[in-house]
Structure formats: C-alpha cells, structure tokens
C-alpha cells in the first residue's frame, strides 16, 4: 500500500482513518478532492473545522448542541414529562426519524460494559439522576441496545430510578441485529416505542 | 476449507466493520479462539441469536485448527441463561469469569475442564444460586486448574498450622504470625477450611454452603491479589461488579 507517499499519501491516510472507509475508498475520495475547485475543498474543510469547534454536548441531555443546549431541549413544544435514555447521540437521530416521539432525551455516552472497564461512574448516570430529581419527568423510556450490556444498563437504571417514584419502561423487543437502534428501520422503532413495557 | 463443530461460550464481541462482528469464544475443544461473524450487524441473521454475551452455543467454525481468526458459519443456541442476565449481582460475577477466561488463558490452549467449570457456574447462576458463592468457587477452581492456586494449609516457613495466617503476594504463600508478624492478607482458620472445602466439593453441593461475611471478604481479597499478580493489573470488570454486587 505504499504507492502513495508525500502529500497525497498523507491525505489518503487521513481519509482512511474514518469509519467504513477502506484504502480503496480513501483513494477514491482523495482523487475526487483533487479534481474539485479549491473553493469547494475549502468549504468542506471549513465545515469540518466549524463543526468541530462549535458542536458540544448539550448541557442537559448530552446530545449534540451548537450552543449551551441542543435544539430538542430548547424546544418548548417537547413533552418534558417523557425522557428517553439512549446510549449514543446517533440513537437520538434514529428515534427522531420516526417523528413519533415528542419527549426529551438523555444520552448516557455508552453502556455498562464490564470487560471494557466501563462502570456506572463512566456514564452520564449521576447527571440523569440529578435531572430526574428536578421533578418534571414522569416516565423514563430506556432505549439502550437489546444486547446483554444494554439490558444490564436498563436493569441498573431501573433499580436507581424506581425509588424516585418514576415509571421506567423499556422498548419492546424485536429490534434486529443485537437490538442496535442504529440499524432498525423507522417502523420497527415506532412499533418498539408503542409496545414499551414497564420494568419490574 | 476445513470446518469443526464445538460447544462454545461467548466471552466478548467487537464490532469489526459496518456489517461484521468479531467474537471471542471459549470453546470446549480449542480453548479460547476468535471468530468473525459476517453480516450479523446489518441483518436479522440466525447467527445473532447464538452470539449474545455469555451464551452457550454449538458453533461451526471454518478454518484450520491453528487459524488466528475463524469464520463462524453456523450455530445453534444451547443456553442463553436468561435468569442470570436479569440478576445484576450474578452478572457482575459472570463478567469477572468472562474476563478471567479472556485474559488469563491463551489462544488455542484446550482447557476442557475449565470449560466445564464455566458451564457449571453459568447454570448455577441461572438457577439462582448465591452469586458470590458460585463466583468464589469458580475463581478458586480456575486458579487451581491453571496452576495458580497457592497452598493455604501450613506456614511456608516453619510448616506449622496455626489459627491466624497471612497470605503474602510476593512469596505467593501463607506464613504464621511467629514467622512474619506483620503485613499480608489475613486468612483465618475458618476461611482456609472453606477454601479447602471449595476445592473438594462437588458443584451440586454449592447451594448448601454458606460464606460468612469475614470469610467472603478475606477470600475476595486473596483472589483479587492472586489475579492481580498474574494479570499485572486489577480486573477491568471490577467497577461494574462493585456497582451491582449489592443490588437485589
Ligand atoms: Zn439537550
Ligand atoms: Zn511459621
């Protein structure tokens, strides 16, 4: 793979670090960029730098925000009595795509993952409990993945939240491929949301 | 390409590419091996149901026996241990087990006896047996079968058996107070009796054994110390296990 060295080689290396981009795809992207006008490439570079500089985790829910709070937390039409807990900011997009959920979110920034050394203190769980103690939320919908780690996270959250007198529910099962929200289609997610059940 | 079938436990899984997952398996015939499951992230593949963390499945692996990465071509779920997975303290202990198998055994090192220990432990947890009792039993037996279990009968310096003995990680043995009055992990006579009982007991007797609080603490400290010695670090699953160990 060292046909490309120097500046072009470096560009291909950088592009090749992105998820889903193998060496071949990285080369195609590099040649594509070289064929474009300088202005087009500048726009792309600016967009990347600006996103990196200005997008921060939302102060309330840890979803992506351009200011202090994300557009969902700042939207007065959202139902503040409902809180959907997800693993990853990507999962918020999956839920939003269905256009069915009108509540707020809380992104854990991961899932309990014992063999990676990720315990409760490494997730945004303390922040979640603090939000719940403010008292507006009546139902927490736990939408972590439906694998063993996601289920364990749901069980753990239930143990912590139940004593606060808040209903804790779980998306109905039936998501494909290890229950990863990212790969579920809108209809499946809507159905899982509609069929959510209360955790014991 | 040659294939083989073997019962296997799923120790952990990584996302490999957009569609594939790499699964670390503890197999009955080959010990720990890695296998790639193609396409399971995208589609409702039948393999998915077999490859959940801490499941036991009969898997078909394609590749030569000494292959680095097998291809998992077929599978049949034997047991998913659903009750274990709803019991957080048991899951905390099972996570420790998975990490021990993952990090203290070598690839392609057949350990059929340890496979059986692991299988038995998962069944006991699933049946609701005291998670700590089963976990303690597994870890002590595992260290024994790996050749890492220190003798806890007599002082390694004078050969006496007295009421109060301490374990010293640096010499991997116990001493009496006369030989070494300070330091080490205290192991009372009762605790040492329990450790010997664990080695001698058939697993069906585990539900009838009781670990007192002192013995539990002493044994846990001992196990953690021996494991840290061989691993060079504490278990990563510690933080999870500690967080869930008291949850009912
Ligand atoms: Zn927000
Ligand atoms: Zn002595």
Q: Are residues B103 and B189 in the same domain?
A: yes
Question: Predicted confidence band at A175 (pLDDT cuts at 50, 70, 90)?
Answer: low
CA A19 – CA A104 distance, rounded (Å): 29
- Chain A partners of B43 at a C-beta cutoff of 8 Å? 176-177
Contact assessment for residue A187 and residue A200, using Cβ atoms and an 8 Å cutoff: no
A67 touching B (Cβ < 8 Å) = no
Q: Does the pLDDT value for residue A176 go beyond 60?
A: no
Question: Predicted confidence band at A2 (pLDDT cuts at 50, 70, 90)?
Answer: low
Q: Are residues A114 and A40 in the same domain?
A: no
Q: Which domain holds residue B29?
A: 3-79
Question: What separation in angstroms does the CA of B120 have from each of A180, B90, B114, B126, B203?
Answer: 30, 14, 10, 10, 8
Question: What average pLDDT does this structure show over B66-78?
Answer: 91
Q: How far is ligand 1, taken at its centre, from the CA of residue A74, in Å?
A: 7
Task: Transcribe B130-191 into DSSP letters.
Answer: -HHHHHHHHHHHHHHHTT-PPP-SS-TTT----SEEEEETTTTEEEETTT--S-SEEEEHHH
Give the CATH number for residue B62: 2.40.50.140
Q: Which of A36, A54, A72 is the last residue of a domain?
A: A54
Q: How far is ligand 1, taken at its centre, from the CA of residue A176, in Å?
A: 27
Token pair listed for B58: 């009969």
Residue among A183, A187, A195 at smallest CA distance from A99: A187
- Chain B partners of A180 at a C-beta cutoff of 8 Å? 41
Residue among B146, B245, B125, B140 at smallest CA distance from B194: B140
Interface test with B, best of A115, A149, A163 (most B CBs within 10 A): A115
Q: Coil, helix or strand for A64?
A: strand
In sequence order, which residues have a C-beta less than 8 Å from that of residue B131 and are 6 or more positions away?
A: B87, B89, B90, B92, B93, B125
B85 touching A (Cβ < 8 Å) = yes
Strands, E assignment, chain A: 56-57, 64-65, 79-86, 103-107, 139-142, 167-170, 197-198
Q: Which of B37, B59, B79 is the last residue of a domain?
A: B79
pLDDT digits (tens, 9 = 90+) for A72-106: 999 999 999 999 999 999 999 999 998 889 999 99
Output A145 or A28, whichever has higher pLDDT. Answer: A28
Q: How many CB pairs under 8 A join A and B?
A: 80
Whether A1 is in a domain gets the answer no
Question: What separation in angstroms does the CA of B196 have from each of A102, B187, B202, B213, B219?
Answer: 59, 12, 12, 17, 12
Q: Measured between CA atoms, how close is B179 to chain A, in angstroms? A: 39
Q: Which domain holds residue A96?
A: 64-198
Q: Coil, helix or strand for B10?
A: strand
Q: What is the model's pLDDT at position B211?
A: 87
Output A105 or A2, whichever has higher pLDDT. Answer: A105
Q: What is the model's pLDDT at position A4?
A: 79
In sequence order, which residues have a C-beta less than 8 Å from that of residue B71 and are 6 or more positions away?
A: B1, B35, B36, B38, B61, B62, B63
Whether A20 is in a domain gets the answer yes
Token pair listed for A41: 């490439």
Read off the pTM: 0.87
Nearest to A117 among B42, B44, B236 (CB): B236
Q: What is the model's pLDDT at position A146?
A: 81
Output B100 or B66, whichever has higher pLDDT. Answer: B100
Q: Are strands B69-79 and B21-27 parallel, antiparallel or unpaired?
A: unpaired
Q: Coil, helix or strand for A47?
A: helix
Total structural domains within chain B: 2
Q: Are residues B240 and B173 in the same domain?
A: yes
Mean pLDDT estimate for chain A: 91
CA B58 – CA B25 distance, rounded (Å): 11
Q: What is the model's pLDDT at position B248?
A: 60
Question: What average pLDDT does this structure show over A52-79?
Answer: 96
ipTM: 0.82
Q: Are residues A80 and A177 in the same domain?
A: yes
Nearest to B98 among A115, A147, A152 (CB): A115
CA B172 – CA B151 distance, rounded (Å): 9
- Chain B partners of A149 at a C-beta cutoff of 8 Å? 53
Q: Are residues A68 and A48 in the same domain?
A: no
Q: Are residues A38 and A73 in the same domain?
A: no
Lowest mean pLDDT among B58-62, B132-136, B198-202: B198-202
Q: Are residues A104 and A68 in the same domain?
A: yes
Question: Predicted confidence band at A174 (pLDDT cuts at 50, 70, 90)?
Answer: low
Question: Predicted confidence band at A187 (pLDDT cuts at 50, 70, 90)?
Answer: confident
Q: Do B54 and A148 touch (CB under 8 A)?
A: yes
Q: What is the model's pLDDT at position B77?
A: 93
Q: Do A149 and B53 touch (CB under 8 A)?
A: yes
Q: What is the model's pLDDT at position A191?
A: 83
Query: Three-state SS string across A93-136, please?
Result: HHHHHCCCCCEEEEECCCCCEHHHCECHHHCCHHHHHHHHHCCC
Question: What average pLDDT does this structure show over B28-57?
Answer: 87
Q: Do A117 and B237 touch (CB under 8 A)?
A: yes
Q: Coil, helix or strand for B232?
A: coil
Output B172 or A174, whichever has higher pLDDT. Answer: B172
Q: What is the model's pLDDT at position B21?
A: 87
Q: Does the pLDDT value for residue B98 go beyond 60?
A: yes
Give the CATH number for residue A49: 1.10.8.420
Phi, then psi, of B46 in degrees rounded to 5: -65, -25
CA B25 – CA A8 distance, rounded (Å): 41
Output B38 or A130, whichever has higher pLDDT. Answer: A130
CA A30 – CA A12 distance, rounded (Å): 6
Q: What is the model's pLDDT at position A179?
A: 61
């Amino acid at each position: 793979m060292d046909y490309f060295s120097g500046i072009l080689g470096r560009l291909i290396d950088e592009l090749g670090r992105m998820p889903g981009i193998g060496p071949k795809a990285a080369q195609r992207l590099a040649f594509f960029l070289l064929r474009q006008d300088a202005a087009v490439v500048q726009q792309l570079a600016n967009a990347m730098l600006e996103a990196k500089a200005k997008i921060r985790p939302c102060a309330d829910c840890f979803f992506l925000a351009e200011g202090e709070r994300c557009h969902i937390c700042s939207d007065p039409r959202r139902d503040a009595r409902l809180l959907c807990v997800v693993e990853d900011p990507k999962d918020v997009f999956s839920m939003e795509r269905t256009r069915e959920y009108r509540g707020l979110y809380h992104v854990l920034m991961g899932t309990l993952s014992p063999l990676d050394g990720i315990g409760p203190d490494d997730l945004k769980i303390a922040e979640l409990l603090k939000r719940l103690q403010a008292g507006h939320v009546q139902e927490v919908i736990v939408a972590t993945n439906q694998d063993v780690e996601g289920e364990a996270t749901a069980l753990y959250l239930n143990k912590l939240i139940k004593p606060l007198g808040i209903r804790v529910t779980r998306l109905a099962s039936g998501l494909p491929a290890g229950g990863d929200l990212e790969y579920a289609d809108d209809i499946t997610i809507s159905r899982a949301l509609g069929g959510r059940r209360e955790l014991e | 390409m040659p294939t083989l079938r073997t019962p296997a436990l799923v120790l952990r899984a990584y996302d490999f590419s957009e569609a594939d997952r790499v699964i670390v398996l503890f197999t009955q015939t080959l010990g720990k091996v890695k296998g790639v499951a193609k396409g399971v992230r995208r589609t409702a593949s039948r393999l998915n149901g077999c490859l959940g963390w801490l499941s036991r499945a009969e898997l078909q692996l394609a590749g030569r026996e000494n292959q680095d990465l097998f291809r998992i071509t077929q599978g049949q779920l034997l047991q998913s241990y659903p009750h274990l997975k709803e019991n957080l303290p048991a899951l905390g202990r099972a996570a420790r087990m998975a990490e021990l198998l993952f990090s203290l055994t070598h690839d392609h090192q057949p350990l059929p006896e340890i496979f059986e220990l692991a299988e038995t432990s998962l069944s006991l947890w699933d049946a609701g047996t005291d998670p700590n009792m089963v976990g303690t039993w597994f870890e002590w037996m595992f260290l024994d079968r790996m050749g890492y279990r220190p003798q806890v009968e007599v002082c390694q310096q004078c050969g006496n058996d007295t009421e109060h003995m301490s374990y010293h990680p640096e010499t991997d043995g116990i001493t009496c107070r006369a030989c070494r009055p300070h330091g080490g992990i205290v192991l009372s006579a009762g605790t040492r009796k329990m450790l010997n009982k664990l080695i001698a007991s058939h697993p069906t007797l585990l539900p009838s054994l009781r670990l007192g609080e002192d013995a539990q603490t002493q044994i846990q400290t001992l196990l953690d110390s021996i494991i840290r010695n061989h691993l060079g670090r504490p278990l990563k699953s510690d933080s999870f296990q500690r967080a869930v160990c008291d949850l009912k």
